[in-house]
């Protein structure tokens, strides 16, 4: 597979970016999720079905510390995004300043509070109530029951150290190509190798993904991805979880196809705004952001992530979403910035 590490290059206004992506589909056998590594010697879970693959991704010692500092599991039923934000923040703080860092935002509660401040409101206003449901956080641009992708991207950008940029990425191709797009975050050639937030089960939940097992460097291309390393903030929360352990490796095929007994999935289907969990399209009081004709959709039917990148366009605004070509997702009115 030839992948272009698009999110690692600044997007210049007015440029036309092209992607030609040749995907090699992996025919690996189904593999059961594996338990997480020990706290004494942090390491990625071993992959028994990955052959000679190597792991490409985040520093496992920093990840374990970040999850511990974040006091996982998620503290409320709708705080998966909150837990992801604080874990990503702790990782980036540790990466930048060392393990003795004492950041401003240290707890899940502090992130929840931040998401409900006036500064968290998007340039397009707050989400419009469409029925009895209203946004759980004022940072949302949708009347969501939890954190929507915009609010996660904004908060991750707000709390992490200077120089860490985050955006909502919406992939409208297939789950196969979307896996390769986010996998290009990892590896020595062009990867930033930091954890990302990945929306699963049609928009109902979010994982932290910190890397993949692949035949070669995903950030350079021409690899096969065989497993995805995930961290589920719901494990141990008393609510429904997807992983059996907080950190869990999912095989390529299980990540794409596994169906849980209760009917939930991981990345078999894209974001579905009509699902039972109430994950609607954006609807704000100003400009009706991302809901304008002719598209009329934003993240519906997309595979959705919130990723660190190097895009500094529009002062690195986290309010802008991008597609797999590195182009701004269309929205109502004129361009967000000159």
Q: What is the tens place of the pLDDT at every residue in 244-273? A: 999 999 999 999 999 999 899 999 999 987
Distances (CA, A) of 220 to 21, 177, 212, 223, 316: 12, 15, 14, 8, 24
> Residue 53 above 90 pLDDT?
yes
Q: How confident is the model at residue 35 (pLDDT cuts 50, 70, 90)?
A: very low
- Residue 273 near residue 281, CB atoms below 8 Å: yes
Q: Which runs of consecutive H residues, i.e. helices, occur in 147-207?
A: 149-159, 175-183
- Residue 125 near residue 284, CB atoms below 8 Å: yes
Q: Is residue 37 in a domain?
A: no
- Residue 122 near residue 284, CB atoms below 8 Å: yes
Q: Torsion-angle region of residue 28: left (phi > 0), alpha (psi -120 to 50) or beta?
A: beta
To which residue do tokens 């903030």 refer? Answer: 233
Give the length of the chain: 338
Residue scoring higher pLDDT (301 or 331): 301
> Which three-class secondary structure state does DSSP give residue 176?
helix
CB atoms within 10 A of CB 41: 9
φ/ψ (deg, to 5) at 150 = -60, -45
The pLDDT score that the predictor gives to residue 335 is: 56
The pLDDT score that the predictor gives to residue 328 is: 85
User: pTM value?
Assistant: 0.87
Q: Is residue 29 in a domain?
A: no
Q: Is residue 34 in a domain?
A: no
Q: Is residue 36 in a domain?
A: no
Q: Is residue 33 in a domain?
A: no
Q: Is residue 261 in a domain?
A: yes
Domain count, the chain: 1
φ/ψ (deg, to 5) at 245 = -130, 155
> Which three-class secondary structure state does DSSP give residue 195?
coil
Q: Which runs of consecutive H residues, i.e. helices, occur in the chain?
A: 60-69, 80-97, 108-115, 149-159, 175-183, 252-257, 313-316
To the nearest 5 percent, what fractions of the chain are helix, strand and coil?
A: 20, 15, 60
The pLDDT score that the predictor gives to residue 332 is: 65
- Residue 141 near residue 282, CB atoms below 8 Å: yes
Q: Is residue 318 in a domain?
A: yes
User: Would you state the structure tokens that stand for residue 1, as one six-digit string?
Assistant: 């597979």
Range of the domain at 216: 48-323
Cα separation, 169 vs 82, in Å, equals: 18
Strands (E), the chain: 54-57, 165-171, 196-200, 205-214, 225-231, 247-251, 303-309, 321-323
Q: What's the pLDDT tens digit per position in 58-93?
A: 999 999 999 999 999 999 999 999 999 999 999 999
- Residue 255 near residue 26, CB atoms below 8 Å: no
> Which three-class secondary structure state does DSSP give residue 256?
helix
Cα separation, 161 vs 95, in Å, equals: 10
Q: What's the pLDDT tens digit per position in 165-211?
A: 999 999 988 999 999 999 999 999 999 999 999 999 999 999 999 99
Q: Is residue 276 in a domain?
A: yes
User: Would you state the structure tokens that stand for residue 2, as one six-digit string?
Assistant: 């030839």
Which of 89-98, 158-167, 292-301 is predicted least confidently?
292-301
Question: Closest Cα partner for 62 from 105, 106, 100?
Answer: 100
Average pLDDT, integer, range 152-156 = 98
User: Would you state the structure tokens that stand for residue 65, as one six-digit string?
Assistant: 């510390």
């Amino acid at each position: 597979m030839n992948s272009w590490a698009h999110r690692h290059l600044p997007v210049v206004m007015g440029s036309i970016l092209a992607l030609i992506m040749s995907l090699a589909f992996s025919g690996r056998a189904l593999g059961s999720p594996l338990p997480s590594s020990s706290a004494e010697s942090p390491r990625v879970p071993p992959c028994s079905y990955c052959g000679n693959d190597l792991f490409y991704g985040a520093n496992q010692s920093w990840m374990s510390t970040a999850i511990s500092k974040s006091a996982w599991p998620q503290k409320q039923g709708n705080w998966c995004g909150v837990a992801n934000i604080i874990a990503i923040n702790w990782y980036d703080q540790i990466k930048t300043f060392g393990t003795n860092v004492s950041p401003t935002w240290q707890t899940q509660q502090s992130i929840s509070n931040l998401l409900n401040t006036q500064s968290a409101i998007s340039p397009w206003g707050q989400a419009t109530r469409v029925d009895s449901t209203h946004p759980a956080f004022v940072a949302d641009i949708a009347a969501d029951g939890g954190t929507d992708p915009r609010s996660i991207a904004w908060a991750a950008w707000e709390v992490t150290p200077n120089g860490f940029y985050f955006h909502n990425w919406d992939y409208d191709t297939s789950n196969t190509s979307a896996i390769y797009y986010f996998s290009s975050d990892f590896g020595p050639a062009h990867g930033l190798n930091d954890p990302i937030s990945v929306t699963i089960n049609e928009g109902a939940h979010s994982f932290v993904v910190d890397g993949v097992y692949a035949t070669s460097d995903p950030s350079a291309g021409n690899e096969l991805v065989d497993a995805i390393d995930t961290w589920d903030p719901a494990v141990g929360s008393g609510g429904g979880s997807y992983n059996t352990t907080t950190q869990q490796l999912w095989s390529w095929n299980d990540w794409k196809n596994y169906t849980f007994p209760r009917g939930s999935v991981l990345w078999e289907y894209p974001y579905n705004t009509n699902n039972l969990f109430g994950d609607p399209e954006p609807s704000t009081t100003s400009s009706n952001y991302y809901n304008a004709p002719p598209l009329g959709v934003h993240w519906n039917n997309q595979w959705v992530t919130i990723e660190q990148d190097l895009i500094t366009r529009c002062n690195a605004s986290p309010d802008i979403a991008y597609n797999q070509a590195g182009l701004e997702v269309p929205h109502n009115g004129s361009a967000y910035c000159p």
